[in-house]
Amino acid sequence: MKTYRSKKEPASLPSAGSRKKAPTDTHSFFERVYELVRQVPRGRVTTYGALAEASGLKITARMAGWAMYAADRAQPPIPAHRVVNSSGMLSGKDHFATPTLMQELLEQEGVTVKNNKIQAFKTVFWDPSEPEKVKKRSTKRDKGEK
């Protein structure tokens, strides 16, 4: 016979030591999204979906957006103005101090915005899952010097 817990009985909670952290624990996935946003180069933008995919976690674009909603509290600060929706719209602009601040910050970096949309979006899009080719720095050792 099935029994039901009385309303007066407190639910038993697992002890702090027995609970494993979920891979999408709020702190860890926020930090992973912020880590990726900090890598977006000046003058480039990325999307919530690209951040979600590149995070390596099982999160959605909406969850990446949720992390960006809390970005003003991130330390060190992150360039949240470089994250837009999948069509290049400044969908997060309402979360900045002024309605035009996101656009102003992007334009200072050379990104053209018209009617709240990134112009030439494909050319300024930066995909965090495709690491840019880093030039190998030559050292004295590489040149045969001692």
Q: Does residue 40 lie within any of the structural domains?
A: yes
Domain count, the chain: 1
Question: For 20-63, what is each residue's pLDDT tens digit?
Answer: 444 445 568 899 999 999 999 999 999 999 999 999 888 899 99
Q: Does residue 137 lie within any of the structural domains?
A: no
Q: Does residue 133 lie within any of the structural domains?
A: no
Q: Does residue 18 lie within any of the structural domains?
A: no
pLDDT of residue 28: 80
Q: Does residue 59 lie within any of the structural domains?
A: yes
- Angle CA(120)–CA(126)–CA(130) in degrees, nearest 5? 140
Q: Which of 37-41, 71-75, 92-96, 128-132 has the lowest mean pLDDT?
A: 128-132
CB 33 within 8 A of CB 55: yes
Name the helix (H) or strand (E) containing 84.
strand 83-84
Q: Does residue 140 lie within any of the structural domains?
A: no
pLDDT of residue 73: 87
Is 80 exceeded by the pLDDT of residue 133? no
What is the extent of the structural domain holding 65? 26-124
Question: For 92-124, what is each residue's pLDDT tens digit?
Answer: 999 999 999 999 999 999 999 999 999 999 999
pLDDT of residue 114: 97
For the domain that residue 61 is a member of, what is the CATH number?
1.10.10.10
